[in-house]
């Protein structure tokens, strides 16, 4: 095989030829393989930002990519058991507990956790203060469950449900992903709820693939590192956040 290719590439150094063959093999494998099924814990704004990054990264790597929406905990468990090919985005701490998943060491999104209250908000609040209150949150959000004691948490079906519980006086505060919660409040024209300015947590989120895809994980990490170095990641995040906030503002203007 190499002798045959040498007839057409006589000046190519051997190491470059071998690298080219490896890339060709990977590309042919990806073309012939079915799309990777990647579990996504929801279709939240944070997930959409991660998807925007990964769509571009997978395309550059020549890998077919299919997100599948799953419940928070089930998504992670299915990825670790190999029932899906990987997990869209999780914190480093969460991925450390999943031995069969390979973390791709470039953040694909950030989870900024912000507190919301009725009436007027202080500029900041502490975890110690929140620990003494009733705090509504999206059940299964592991970062929140690690941040606050179970006795302070009021589980909700989703972020909108957490906000409804806050509005109804069933909670003293709600905590959630800033971008998602902001757009929910804006698109639904909610009044009387304020945001504490300073986040209580800001964590990078990482993509992960099942260990059977170790070679693909290495290739994808290299692509993401190149996107990070060129500033492409930041540009994708900024464009996606603007799109999501603009869409929320547009929905707020619709007749109700």
- Residue 251 to residue 190: CA distance in whole angstroms: 12
DSSP 8-state assignment for residue 254:
S
Token pair listed for 251: 């929905």
**Pick from 120, 122, 157, 123: which is nearest to 137 by CA?**
157
- pLDDT tens-place string over residues 59-106: 999 998 899 988 888 999 999 999 999 999 999 999 999 999 999 999
pLDDT of the residue at 202:
95
The DSSP annotation for 188-245 comes to TT--SEEE-SS-SEEEEEEEEEEGGGHHHHHHHHHHHHHHHHHTHHHHHHHHHHHHHH
- pLDDT tens-place string over residues 165-201: 999 999 999 999 999 999 999 888 888 999 999 999 9
What are the extents of the domains in the chain? 1-32, 34-109+205-247, 112-201
> pLDDT category, 24, cuts 50, 70, 90?
very low
Do the domains 34-109+205-247 and 112-201 sit in the same CATH topology, yes or no?
A: yes
112-201: CATH architecture: 3-Layer(aba) Sandwich (3.40)
Q: What is the pTM of this model?
A: 0.78
pLDDT of the residue at 247:
87
**If you average pLDDT over residues 31-58, what whole number do you get?**
85
34-109+205-247: CATH architecture: 3-Layer(aba) Sandwich (3.40)
pLDDT of the residue at 27:
44
- Residue 203 to residue 107: CA distance in whole angstroms: 9
């Amino acid at each position: 095989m190499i002798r045959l290719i040498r007839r057409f590439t006589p000046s190519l150094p051997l190491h470059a030829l071998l690298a080219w063959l490896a890339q060709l093999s990977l590309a042919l494998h990806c073309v012939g393989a079915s799309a990777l099924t990647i579990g996504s814990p929801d279709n939240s704004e944070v997930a959409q930002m991660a998807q925007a990054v990964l769509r571009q990264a997978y395309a550059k790597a020549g890998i077919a990519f299919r997100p599948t929406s799953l419940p928070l905990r089930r998504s992670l468990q299915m990825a670790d058991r190999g029932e899906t090919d990987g997990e869209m985005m999780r914190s480093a701490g969460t991925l450390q507990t999943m031995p069969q998943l390979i973390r791709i060491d470039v953040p694909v999104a950030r989870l900024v956790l912000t507190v919301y209250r009725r009436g007027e908000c202080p500029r900041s609040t502490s975890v110690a203060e929140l620990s003494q209150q009733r705090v509504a949150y999206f059940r299964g959000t592991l970062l929140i469950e690690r941040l606050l004691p179970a006795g302070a948490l009021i589980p909700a079906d989703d972020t909108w449900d957490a906000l409804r519980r806050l509005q109804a006086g069933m909670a003293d505060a709600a905590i959630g992903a800033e971008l998602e919660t902001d757009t929910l409040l804006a698109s639904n024209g909610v009044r009387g709820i304020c945001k504490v300015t300073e986040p209580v947590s800001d964590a990078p989120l990482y993509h992960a693939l099942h260990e059977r895809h170790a070679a693909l994980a290495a290739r994808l990490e290299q692509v993401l590192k190149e996107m990070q170095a060129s500033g492409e990641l930041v540009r994708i995040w900024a464009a996606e956040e603007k799109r999501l906030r603009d869409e929320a503002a547009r929905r707020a203007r619709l007749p109700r």
